[in-house]
Structures are given as C-alpha cells and as structure tokens.
Structure 1
C-alpha cells in the first residue's frame, strides 16, 4: 500500500507540473473543450514520510484561481489501518503566510464538506449563480491564512477504505484531524510557530473542541518530555464556533422560543414541549440513537441529504423549511458548490482525480449516537487555557441564541460566575449595530443581528470583523448599552 501511494504521489507531481505549464484556471462547469484528463489524486503522506517536503508542496500547489489566488490542496493519510484520508485546501493570507495566524475551518452537518464554507461563506473566492468564481470582498484571508479540511473521512472528498473506517465519535474525529495537522505542518514548516485557531459552525461545535482537546493533550505530553518535543507542539491560541451544536439536552426548549418569536401558538408550544420531554427522557436513559430519531422528528437533526427526515413537527407547525434562518425564502445556492467541485476542470486543479465527492448520509449515520452527547467537559477544560468565541446568528432555529446561553450557563469553569454578571456591550461595524457581545475570562459570547446559523453567508462584513478581532486578540465590542 505504501509503495502504491508513493507512486500515485509522484505521478501527481508530474501531472501538476504539466498542468501548470498549461495555466488551467477552471471557471465554468460546462465548456466546449475536449474531455479533460483529471489526473491522479495527490496523496502527500508518502512524500512527507520520505522527507520529500519540496516535492509534496509542489504536488499540492494549484494553478492560481482568478489569476491571483494562491492555494494548495491534496490528501493526508491519517489512519492507514482504516484507510482514512482527509482532503485539505489551503489559502495563504492576503498579506502572506509567514506572519499571519492560521485558521482551520470545519463545517458541520455532520458530514458537510468544508468547501461549503469556502465557497459560500468565508473563502477568498465565491461561486456565482452562473457557477463562475468571483473574488470575495470579505474573505477571511484578509485576517488569516485559511485551511479547509473535509472532516471526518467520508465527508466531501475525504474518504476511508470501507464504511467500517468512518469515525463513530467526535474523539476519533479530533484524533484524525490532529494527525492531518501534524502532516500539514510538515508540508509548511514555516507555519509551525504561527498562532493557530480552530473555527467552524453548527456540528463543528463538537469537532472544534474535540480537536482542541487532542491538541491540548498532545502539547501537554510534549511539555512533559522536558521540552525535548517542543518542535511538535501546535501553537493553539483559540477556538471559535458559530451556532454551536454542543449539548442537545441544554437546547430543547424550542416550544418557548418559537412561541416568543410568534412562530407557534400555545397549542403548538404544548406539542413541542411534549416531544421535548420524550427526547429528554431518552437522553437521561443514554439511549442516544433513539433520542436522535425523536429530536430529528422535532426540528430536524440535519439536512435531508444527511439522513434527516423530510418532515418535522417544526415544519408542520410553521410551514418553514429553513431552520437555519427562519426569514430565508430561497436556498442561496447552498448546494451549487457540490456540482462545481466535481467538474473535470476543478478535479484537475484540486488533485482529487476521480475520487467520489460524498454526501453526508454515511457520516451522519455513523455519528448518530455521538450527536446527542455533550461536549461540555471539553469546553470547560479548554476555557481554562484558550480564548473561546461562541457566536450565534439571531435567526437560527436549530441552535438558537437563547438556548446557547442556557448551555453556557451550565458550564463549570473559573469564569462561570463572572459570565453571569458580565456587561453586555454593543458591537458596531462602520457605524452599524452588528450585534452584542459579552466577555468573561477567556470566553466571548456574541449575538449577530439579522443572521442565521451561517453567519458569514448572511453577514459577511460583520463576520470578517468578528474573526479579525478574535485572531488579533482585540475586544469584539467596546460600547455598553
């Protein structure tokens, strides 16, 4: 297996070099050109194991997008026994990667590709309705280098050799991501000392702290070796999660919430409360999969292509399908990126060959029980050591702001009492009220106005301000009420 991967990776080096001479810049999903040879996938791990770092970096280098957007992509093998390989796409910061912080973006789902975030939310390019690319004005590369990883294996272009190789817990997802990060730093050793932040949204509320705990444990172990292993430590400084799915039991009061915003009447609230009680009883019995089924029927545990049901009590009572933003009428082209990345021109650019681009059903099925378990102990530990930003769009139904506050109040950490009495401040961007922020200890909690669960999609300018201040260690808001 190792030998074959080396051959594939070496072939990718040759293929990339040949393509670069041609200056390919994929734009449209349909052209009148002859069929495109997508080339082999670039498996970089064998080259890194052989200490052929320059060759690996060359194999991962992409032709510039739109003529000036530098990027790198390929596969990192994170578990040979499971045949688990994670796909990444890396964009250096606009000002250069040498001194900029590095942000890893993880999508939720579970099982949604991080390329959604890249194209639809915060990457340096966005996908237009015509399926052509355009520079994103409020790209997060203005604040940091951006690393997107399809995680876990079975998500997007990432894969395992069999269904049995897919992760069944967030802990395993964290371990795989740590293995990928270690190889990424081998690929770009100049980034080793840069500040590192983990970010994501929705179900990444489990992935982000899982990776944070894996890094924290590895760094602690390295420090315990008397400094001999300091070179392998990751300079983790903070974690940022939008509309986090972190503890379903704390976020079941949908009846009161939907009643208060006028989406259901008292009869609807009673129905929601009855279903809430069923879910809570199952959680207390630790019947995780059964609880997931009931929760899915309540508000929808995930997109329909992630194994979720076609109808929910929320839909029956409100007629609304977009639980991620209850004022959204259209789909914002939310799935168009899937077709785009599977075109031959883009496959060639990304060095993915003809490997499958997965929907999220298999991953969601494997993590069904995990979805209903709490990440509270992880957050409680991480809050003692790292900056944590939890932000919520005002219009989300799945993980609404008041229920996230319920979750935060249950956290047991050194800043818990300070949070309960912390002053809420108005956050403005260029004179506009973007939201409200509260800080206690290393925690900053933010409400983003007029946004749903995908804050960078709905409010890109404000989201850029938010992440820029966070990675720069600046206060989000300064003016009190």
Structure 2
C-alpha cells in the first residue's frame, strides 16, 4: 500500500463526514493494483448508541458483475434514502454500520485507468478486495475491532464466497487484522448451471409455461450444461444468454428478478416492440442521482457507471464457473457462519436451484443437513419464510420476495441479519 494513498484516504475520511444524505459518512478510494481503483462509501449507524463502533459493520456487495452497491444497493434496496430521496424506514443503518463497495474494479464509481486492468477471474476480485479492506481500515481504524459480516446479492455471492476465503487466510497469516465472522449469500450465482437447469421445472410448477415451453427451455438448458461440463465456459455464457432468450420467448418476457412483476406484452399500444432487459424507472433515477448530486456532494471526478459494461465483458469466461468448492472450503476450513438466503419469486437464481447446490455440498454433517428440520421465520406474528441451520451453515427460504430480498421482504431480511450477526447463531 502506497503511503501517499493512505494519507489521502485518512484526510478524506476526516473531512468528508457530511456526505450525501442523513447519516454520518466516510468514503474514499483504494488503489488495489496499479491503475485499478475501488471506491467505498461508509454509512454509519443511526442506532441509539454512545459510539457507532458498538454496532457491527455489514458490507454490501451488488451483483452483475458490474452493478453498483453505492447506487443500486444503497438507493434501491437498503440505504437510508430511496431513489426518490424519501427516508427508508427499513434501512440497515437502523441497526448496523453499512459499507457499500463498488466492486469489482470498474463498477459504479470504481474505475481502471485502462480497461485491460479490470479483473478477469473471481480470485483476482478476491485479492483486490483484500487490498481494499486493508486500505479501508487504514482510513477508518476505529472499526477494526467491530464484528464484520459481508452480505451480498446475485453475482455478489459468487464474489463474496471467495473474498471470505481470502480474507480468512489473510487474518490467519496476520496480513489483515479484523473480526470477520460470517457471510450472507443472497440469491447467489454460486452454481450457475443449477439455476439454469431448474428454470423450466420452476416455471412449469407456477403455471408460467406449458409443456411445450418447458421442453424448449430444457433443450436450451441442456446445451448450456454440456458446455459447462466440457469446460468451455465462454460458450456456456453464450448458451446461458440464449437460454434466457428462450425463457423470454415462451413467457412473453417474464421478469427474471420477480415472476410476479407486471410486464408489457410483446407489443405496446403504439405497436412498438418492447425489448426485454430495458432499464426501469428506478435505474434511471439512480443514474441521474449518482452522476449529479451524489458525485458533486462527495467531490468525485469519476463518472458513475461508465465502465460497468466492461466489467461483465472482462468476466465473460468466468461467469458460468461454479464456486461451490469455495463454499465447501468455507464450511470445512473456517469458523465463519455461512448463511444462504433466497427469495421464492426469483427466477434468475431460483430457490430450487439454490437448494440443489446447497444439498450437494460436501462438509461434515452433510448427511444430517438433509434431515434437519426447517423452522418458520416469524416476524410480528407473520410467517415470512423458513430456515434451518447445522453447524456453520444456514439456509433461509424467503416468502414474497424476488431477487432483491432486502427490498421485497425487509422484515425477513432483518430476521436473517439478526440471526447471523447477533452472536446468537447456535442458540436459535
């Protein structure tokens, strides 16, 4: 770590606590590799405590790859303000400090001097994140002794699994001095092919397709599986995209992130084709907000999101590779609690696919896991889902939620966070 860089971060943190929004804040950049810069933005808790360090630190990592935590995660899901700048009553800052990181390099306000410096593998992302955390704690040393948890969504889960493994090793060898205790893997792209292979059965079971549509999806899914099993992961990504196209075709563009979302038919009233994948209104609001008011308030030079599309391209070959072996390492070689949670209305990472890879994990107690009884998630006398735990593995089925669990079912999400981050893991 360059001494000049660390000094800059400390000065930035000391002078920039007003930030944007109602919380006390700190933010800065860490140069994780030469020419590769990651942006972080800390929102201190609003809980009634004498010192903010009394509450845990939760890191939030978005998916994509290339989706911004400081933008989407913050304003669309769990930050203190929503995209219309209204206070969010269910914000995570009510009970924790939240660190949004635009990860990997090139996402959101993070950037590379040259796009050739973008990460191309999951391990490189994890190694970069270790350097990021070292720089963050140089800037905010008061949080070093605060319990740390990493929560995430979608592709963020794939990154988080390997990040946690790298961080755990760094803690053990003395290159990182923090109190990392667990991870929350939300609707996570851990075993991509298990997701793809269950799209057809899932959609058939909810009545979104008929048998003909099912056969078409399964044919596309099987082709994707063959590419994965042959080790041709670039082709697998191509075929995954093609399989998504088949799903869109036989469902009239069902929403991959929440199957109950109302969508336009193939043609609108002006007979203009509605193409799947269009940005929605919230995305547009966040784009304007981040590139104007937020950018100005934080005194940043980088344009938010201008390299995000390149991030996916750089990870194209890595995209369909599974990291179930990494999750197994977390369970077998660390003391970290691993919480897996999934929204029942998610399609892109559907619950049946997640259950499939979780039940196939190889770890001590794996056979007992399958026989472990689920318990209901009850909040204010309402059943919000189900969960079960064995050892340091937990699985949470979240009702009435799609891909974005913190947004769709904040009550269940808070239950999960409390279960994972309260220190009561083995008592519930």
Contact 2:24 2:44 in 1 (8 A): yes
Q: Which residue among 360, 369, 372 is the counterpart of 1:419?
A: 369
Contact 1:326 1:396 in 2 (8 A): yes
Alignment of 1:398-437 (within 5 A): 398-437=348-387
Distance, in Å, in 1 between the alignment partners of 2:39 and 2:353 is: 33
Which structure has the larger Rg? 1
Match of 1:254 in 2: 199
Does 155-164 or 346-355 show the bigger shift?
346-355
Distance, in Å, in 1 between the alignment partners of 2:367 and 2:183 is: 21
1:233 offset after TM fit, Å? 2.1
- Where do 5+ consecutive residues of structure 1 fail to align? 1-43, 223-228, 300-311
Distance, in Å, in 1 between the alignment partners of 2:353 and 2:389 is: 18
Q: Match of 2:146, SS?
A: coil
Alignment of 1:16-35 (within 5 A): none
What do the CA deviations read for 1:109-139 (whole angstroms, capped 9, x no partner)?
Answer: 01001120111111122222xxxx1221011
Distance, in Å, in 2 between the alignment partners of 1:388 and 1:314 is: 31
Match of 2:258 in 1: 325
Match of 2:63 in 1: 108
Q: Match of 2:108, SS?
A: coil
Contact 1:47 1:56 in 2 (8 A): no
- Report the RMSD for the aligned CA atoms in angstroms: 2.0
Contact 2:9 2:29 in 1 (8 A): no
Match of 1:19 in 2: none
What do the CA deviations read for 1:236-287 (whole angstroms, capped 9, x no partner)?
Answer: 1000011110112322222222111111111111111111111111111110
Does 351-360 or 210-219 show the bigger shift?
351-360
Contact 2:13 2:27 in 1 (8 A): no
Distance, in Å, in 2 between the alignment partners of 1:293 and 1:357 is: 24
Q: Which residue among 467, 473, 476 is the counterpart of 2:417?
A: 467
Contact 1:101 1:194 in 2 (8 A): yes
Match of 2:162 in 1: 210
Contact 1:466 1:476 in 2 (8 A): no
Aligned CA distance change for structure 1 residues 470 and 317 (closer, same or farther; 3 Å): same
Distance, in Å, in 1 between the alignment partners of 2:56 and 2:353 is: 31
Q: Match of 2:86, SS?
A: strand
Match of 1:180 in 2: 132
Contact 2:13 2:28 in 1 (8 A): no
Aligned CA distance change for structure 1 residues 318 and 352 (closer, same or farther; 3 Å): same
What do the CA deviations read for 1:398-440 (whole angstroms, capped 9, x no partner)?
Answer: 1111110001011111131121011011111111111011111
What do the CA deviations read for 1:164-206 (whole angstroms, capped 9, x no partner)?
Answer: 1000011111111110111111111111111111110000121
1:297 offset after TM fit, Å? 1.3
Aligned residues: 405
1:53 offset after TM fit, Å? 6.7
Q: Match of 2:209, SS?
A: coil
Q: Which residue among 220, 235, 246 is the counterpart of 2:179?
A: 235
Q: Match of 1:126, SS?
A: coil
What do the CA deviations read for 1:23-80 (whole angstroms, capped 9, x no partner)?
Answer: xxxxxxxxxxxxxxxxxxxxx9654544x77524224433462xx4211222111112
1:446 matched to 2:396: yes
1:161 matched to 2:116: no
- Give the ranges of 4+ consecutive aligned residues of structure 1 lying more than 4 Å apart after TM superposition: 44-48, 475-478
Distance, in Å, in 2 between the alignment partners of 1:474 and 1:319 is: 45
Contact 1:192 1:234 in 2 (8 A): yes
Distance, in Å, in 2 between the alignment partners of 1:354 and 1:84 is: 13
Match of 1:126 in 2: 82
Distance, in Å, in 1 between the alignment partners of 2:331 and 2:228 is: 25
Contact 1:324 1:397 in 2 (8 A): yes
1:466 offset after TM fit, Å? 2.1
Aligned CA distance change for structure 1 residues 366 and 63 (closer, same or farther; 3 Å): closer
What do the CA deviations read for 1:199-236 (whole angstroms, capped 9, x no partner)?
Answer: 100001211012101101212222xxxxxx6xx32211
What do the CA deviations read for 1:146-179 (whole angstroms, capped 9, x no partner)?
Answer: 0001011111110011111000011111111110
Contact 1:425 1:477 in 2 (8 A): no
Distance, in Å, in 2 between the alignment partners of 1:45 and 1:313 is: 50
- Where do 5+ consecutive residues of structure 2 fail to align? 264-279
